[in-house]
Every structure is written in C-alpha cells, then in structure tokens.
Amino acid sequence: DQQVKQNSPSLSVQEGRISILNCDYTNSMFDYFLWYKKYPAEGPTFLISISSIKDKNEDGRFTVFLNKSAKHLSLHIVPSQPGDSAVYFCAAKDTGRRALTFGSGTRLQVQP
Amino acid sequence: GAGVSQSPSNKVTEKGKDVELRCDPISGHTALYWYRQSLGQGLEFLIYFQGNSAPDKSGLPSDRFSAERTGGSVSTLTIQRTQQEDSAVYLCASSLGGSNEQFFGPGTRLTVL
C-alpha cells in the first residue's frame, strides 16, 4: 500500500521553462512534506519542505504547493536549468513519528 | 562541515553470509535513521535512533536485520544470513533532535549473489 505516490516516473523540459513535479498521498496523518533531489551514486539532498498548516513555501527557484483537500503536493522549478536534472523524491512525515515515507521518484531531465 | 559518511560504499557478498554496514552521522545530530532503496523503488524506512535507543524499529523486514548505535554517534546495521532480496542501496541519515529535515549519506550498495 503506497502512501506516497509519484505517478510520473520521468519528465523532460526545456531549459528556462517551468518544471512541475507532482505527488499524491493517502495518509491524512501526514503533517510535514519534503522534496529531495538525488544524483546518481549520491544520497538524496534536501531541497524544500512544507508544513501541513501552510499551502505554499518558496525558496528561490523552487516552490512547493500543498492542497490538503486533494492530498496533493507539487514542486515547481522555474526557470529550469540543466543542473536540475536528477531524480526528485517526495517524502512525508506522519504525526508522532520521525520516519519519512517516500514516493518512488520522478526523473527530471532539463534539455539545454 | 563533514556530512554523513557510510562505509563500505560497495559490498558484494554470497547468499548466507553476514554483513555489517557502518554510518557516521553529522557531528551533533542526535537522531539517526536507516533506509534502503531497492532498484526502481523509493526509499524504505528501516529503523530510527534517538541517542543510543531505537524507539522505532518498525521497518526492519525480518529478524535477520539488526542495528545498534554507540556513544550517540556511529551506527552499524547488521544483516545475518543474507538473501538475494536484501540487495539494495542502504542509506543512513541524521538530523538535529527536533528537526524534520534529514541529511543523507551516499549509501552502501549491497549485492547478494
């Protein structure tokens, strides 16, 4: 039973355009959401996060949107750069637990 | 400063052998986590340490898996009688006590032949 789902295994966008990565969840007890970026042969790197009491968090080119009623979050990257090419994981934390539940990842390729 | 380090980076073993994987968390991080990532999958939680105790072991897949943490720092994940389905990348993460943001090491790629 996948509690965090990333339904798009891959995404390709042109440099300078917007990248939108999507994530759906089923557990209403999740209270904190994170996005991680992963390059080959490296561990995931924290990118941006959002608490369930907010609906938007912005950090430079990266913005995360949370729609609690739809149990959906998205990561917007604008403008996209070739160095953004990586696998992006959505993760969520359950109230009262410290473990993160991860989606299966979306591979983003930004074409120069 | 130094990030999370893990050793070895790669481990190839034969089915039935025991393996030990090591994690050195970021200095001062009291919380330590183990995850694993099988091919094409997301990260799967295994165990969480706060200091030297493990309040959440719910992700350990069987009693062949165990972990310990000593001195509130280094952690070792041990897999006994390895099976081919144990093949995965094992990732360690650490965080400051109250923080939700976990910082990951590069992982140990385990291959069981």
What mean pLDDT is predicted for residues B67-93?
A: 96
By the 8 A CB rule, do A91 and A34 touch?
Answer: yes
- Chain B touched by A89 (CB under 8 Å): yes
Residue A10's CATH number: 2.60.40.10
Q: At B1, is the pLDDT very low, low, confident or very high (cuts 50, 70, 90)?
A: low
Number of domains in chain A: 1
Among the partner-chain residues A6, A34, A98, the one whose CB lies closest to the CB of B56 is A98
Cα torsion angle, A18, A8, A43, A4, sign = positive
pLDDT digits (tens, 9 = 90+) for A72-98: 999 999 999 999 999 999 999 998 899
Question: A101 is written with which tokens?
Answer: 């539940």
> Using a CB-CB distance cutoff of 8 angstroms, which residues of chain A are in contact with residue B102?
46, 100
Q: Does A45 have pLDDT greater than 60? A: yes
Nearest CA in chain B to A5: B42
> If you average pLDDT over every residue of chain A, what do you get?
96
Order of strands, edge to edge, in the sheet holding B65-69? B5-7, B19-24, B75-79, B65-69
Range of the domain at A52: 4-111
Q: At A64, is the pLDDT very low, low, confident or very high (cuts 50, 70, 90)?
A: very high
- Domain B5-97 fold: Immunoglobulin-like (2.60.40)
Q: Does A71 have pLDDT greater than 90? A: yes
Among B9, B55, B83, B56, smallest CA distance to B46 is for: B56
- Tokens 């340490």 identify what position? B49
Q: At A102, is the pLDDT very low, low, confident or very high (cuts 50, 70, 90)?
A: very high
b/e for A5-30, b at 16 or more Cβ within 10 A? bbeeeebebeeeeebbbbbbbeeeeb
pLDDT digits (tens, 9 = 90+) for B27-57: 999 999 999 999 878 899 999 999 999 999 9
Question: What phi, psi does B42 have (nearest 5°)?
Answer: -80, 180
